[in-house]
Structure 1
Amino acid sequence: MTHDAHHSGPSGRSHRPVFVIGCPRSGTTLLQQMLHCHPRSAMPSETRFVHAAYEERHAFGALEDAANRRELGEWITGRKATKFAVLGLDAGLVTEEIAAGPPTLGSALATVFRAYAREHGKERWSDKRPSYFRRVPMLRRMFPDAQFVHLVRDGRDAIGSLKGMPWYKGDVVSAALTWREAGSARVRAVRRAATARRAARALPPGRGAPPPRPAAPGRRGAAGPHPRAQPGRLAAARVGAARARARTVIGAQ
């Protein structure tokens, strides 16, 4: 499931991927453009194949089979919905590189971003989507050496900007709840990372991670652990309280 981690290259400089996350309208696009201007970092505009490939991973079968990796590569490069075309890469070459690469989903996805970095003469790849704040466990599972930049903008500014977007169809309360959820995701991610570090230190010497769980019944192969859990949602009993807190944020403007 994971990509081959390359913490540093021959120069000793880090090659770890970077993911930029945050509530929509928090400045993620501005940071993406700044990072892409860095001489070592390539960060494309938003694509839509990372989380989609994870959700469909069982459909490709065991990735130890090169034919299945090629099928995955064709799925990434050949569908309009993945927005692969915005990368400006040769779909056939990328597909063949995925087929010849390591047998994990993370490695296949990293192959696409590394090809993009090479195209721009950069050593290190990055990615950004605001909605990744809901998918940090997924990203850490595929890219365990990844680094994250979580942007947090003042809630009043983020909500006001989000409400002004023609593509946003929610009301002010839903915008406030989105901002609050993004902030809560940051706290949860920090706590999970701290727990993982404590657990790793507690393992006896020579003990590694437990083996992956088997594929769900009826799936074609075991390309990864069980399908991801649905993103956490507020229980019905908590919606009223959450809305009241959201109105408090708006009323403070």
Structure 2
Amino acid sequence: MMPRHLTPNHLYPDLPHDFPGENTELAPAKAPVWMRRLMDRIEAGHLRNPLAGTEVTGTTHAEKQAAVLMLFSGSETSFDLPNDASVLLTHRSPTMRSHSGQIAFPGGRIDPEDTNAVDCAFREAWEETGLDRRTATPLAQLEEVHIRATGYPVYPILGHWHSPSPVAVVSPDEADEVFDAPVYELIDPANRLMVGWRRWKGPAFRINGYVIWGFTGGLLSAIIDQAGWATDWDTDRIYDLEDTLATSRNNEPLR
């Protein structure tokens, strides 16, 4: 989270300004056809707890709520998953105090000034990537998910990036790479795997030399499965998480 006195426009004057409080109402009817099954499953309650079975080891802190933006782009005219479908991700700087080196959705703590979780998700995405919130449509807010290590409640916001605009690293101290991950690469069985560490195990993905796991990997896996985009992949073999990360670009310590 960027200090309140410092905004992306202080660092990069050419980036668009944010528009706090705007575009904060969910508009599920505006979902493209290829996302309709996913929307139906969400509305039916099938994604109420996309990380079901994950043990929360910390104490729940309702006052430390956060939101993340799961922003998918892709042709609006396609009935099936379009070839250009992708999702916006960041690589958290290895110097961060928490979740360093992880692949993540843009997001962060809900501030008192935020209108709601959607407002927070867009603000954080702007602070991290320079996203112009006017180019995206918020479609759904999933029920809160608790971060395993802290117990903090996080509200995932699903959106469609109807008019993709340039994004980039805004604050290198927070994220050192911003990229669109092609959905067809994520669902390739060669890029999906189960990883385990101590008593925990969960779904993961390989992309651009990175490993997506944990909170982000679980949410992505749930979205892909419920949307009907998944293909058969090996869920029986469990890869050691520490070894898997050691051969990745994450530069991520295990604690």
Q: TM-score, normalised by structure 2?
A: 0.28
Per residue, is there more helix in 1 or in 2? 1
Per residue, is there more strand in 1 or in 2? 2
Larger radius of gyration: 1
